[in-house]
Amino acid sequence: MRITVPRAEFAEAAGWVARQLPPRSVPGALAVAGMRLDADERLTLSAFDYQVAVTATVEANAGVPGRALVPGRLVADIVRSLPDESVRLSVDEGWLLVRAAGAHYRVPTLPLEDYPSLPTFPPPVGEVDTLGFAAAVSQVVPAAARDETFPVLTALRVEFTGRGLTLVATDRYRLAVRTIPWQPSVRAPEAVAHVPARLLAELARIPTAASRLALGLGADDEGGPRFGLSTGTRRVVVRLVDGTFPHYRRLFPDAVPLAVGAQIAPLAAAIRRVAVVAPRSGAVVRLTFSAGLLTADCGPEAGSSTPADSGPLSLAAATDSVPIDYDGPDLVAWYNPAYLLDGLGAIDGDEVSLGFAASDPQEAARLPAIITGKDDDGFRYVLMPVVRTDA
């Protein structure tokens, strides 16, 4: 293989592909730490760890077509350090030779025969706006579970319908749902995919100028379910997560008799301020809704401490208040402040609406809060309260 490629495009592609590889210091099979280079009319860079496969293609001048498996992160670091000139790559007797300006590198190649076959891109099912999809993923993914107790809860559920593309995530303590428009390319687009949430959060931000993302869904050559994203020069294929997702739609009430409106920035700031004194584990903040005013407080008197808390720091307390649009009965509820802030931060706008599915304030405090933007953009966040038996 002998090829010349522009450094800037090569560095960007190599850096993106190498991010999917294990760190250089992690021991293990060399093959999955490798980045495959395929040189022909263009240079294609690939990485595959059996769960996710990524490929990036850049324009190049191939003097001699060929293929090689190289240490991906090392090569990406090398290319990033080079001057902004053309980079010449060649393979000679088990070595990758990298040259640019006066810099010369010699890197050992890896056994190409040990590299697994790359999965093919699944059958296309439609297209979606690139930035809109990335924004929707970033809104929903914080609600996905981080532990593997129930693997399906670590996934982001993608629902394909003729009415829109719905993204769902839950860790059983909160639920985030966002529906966005898309253009199906199949006659009956009804389908569901459970995509690893943390992977999708990273991969949805594909560096591209393309305004549309092609979506693929189907089985790979070995029968495993796969989900794909493609911009033409960037492709991602992800193995789906098995399992039965919770029936989440029953959490949405038909009506919200009690509704609160507030400015997001001052509300979030108040919650952050009082949460400073909350315990590191099991943090809880009390919210008191009264006519025109929300009071957030944390500390022993707010019921935010537990019997496990001890020492003088457990006596710390804080309170703050912000104006709200509310004229209902006094309502007191407890929430995890981090989960509440995640929901507020995901709203695209300056104002939030918190809805409660009961007119009785005590019953409302025990039910999930429905959080949406004032100008509903298809995003809903359901937050379970922390029920206090001593309240």
CB 319 within 8 A of CB 295: yes
Exposure class string for 37-46: b at 16+ Cβ within 10 A, else e: bbbeeebbbb
For the chain, give the longest Cα–Cα distance: 79
Q: Decide: residue 160, CB within 10 A, 0-12 exposed, 13-18 middle, 19+ buried.
A: buried
Tens of pLDDT, residues 279-320: 877 889 999 999 999 999 998 876 655 555 555 667 788 999
Q: Taking the model in full, what pTM does it have?
A: 0.88
pLDDT band, residue 372 (cuts 50/70/90): very high
Choice among 44-48, 107-111, 112-116, 383-387 with the minimum mean pLDDT: 112-116
Residues 57 and 151 in one domain: no
Residues 147 and 167 in one domain: yes
Residues 135 and 66 in one domain: no
Domain boundary among 73, 96, 114: 114
Residues 222 and 238 in one domain: yes
Domain boundary among 227, 248, 269: 248
For 275, the token pair is 């949460």
> Residue type for 178, please?
R
Domain annotation covers residue 43: yes
Handedness of CA 55, 58, 64, 70 (dihedral sign): negative
| CATH assignment at residue 176 | 3.10.150.10
CB 264 within 8 A of CB 379: no
Tens of pLDDT, residues 316-362: 889 999 999 999 999 999 999 999 999 999 998 899 999 999 999 99
CA gap 309, 250 in Å, rounded: 36
Residues 128 and 68 in one domain: no
| DSSP string computed for 102-148 | TEEEEEE-B-GGGSPPPPPPPPEEEEEEHHHHHHHHHHHGGGS--SS
- The percent of residues in the chain predicted with pLDDT above 70, rounded, is 92
> Residue type for 203, please?
L
Residues 308 and 240 in one domain: no
Residues 264 and 301 in one domain: yes
Domain annotation covers residue 158: yes
Helices and strands of the chain, counted as H and E runs: 7, 26
Residues 261 and 348 in one domain: yes
Residues 163 and 98 in one domain: no
Residues 244 and 295 in one domain: no
Number of domains the chain is built from? 3
Q: How big is the CA angle at 206 (ends 112 and 91), to the nearest 5 degrees? A: 25
Domain annotation covers residue 236: yes
pLDDT band, residue 188 (cuts 50/70/90): confident
Q: Which residue has the higher pLDDT, 263 or 114?
A: 263
Q: What is the mean pLDDT of residues 55-62?
A: 92
The radius of gyration of the chain from alpha carbons, rounded to an integer in Å, stands at: 26
Q: Tell me the pLDDT of the chain averaged across its residues.
A: 90
Domain annotation covers residue 389: no
| DSSP string computed for 49-86 | -SSEEEEEEEE-EEEE-EEEEEEHHHHHHHHHHS-SSE
* Host domain of residue 205: 124-248
Domain annotation covers residue 280: yes
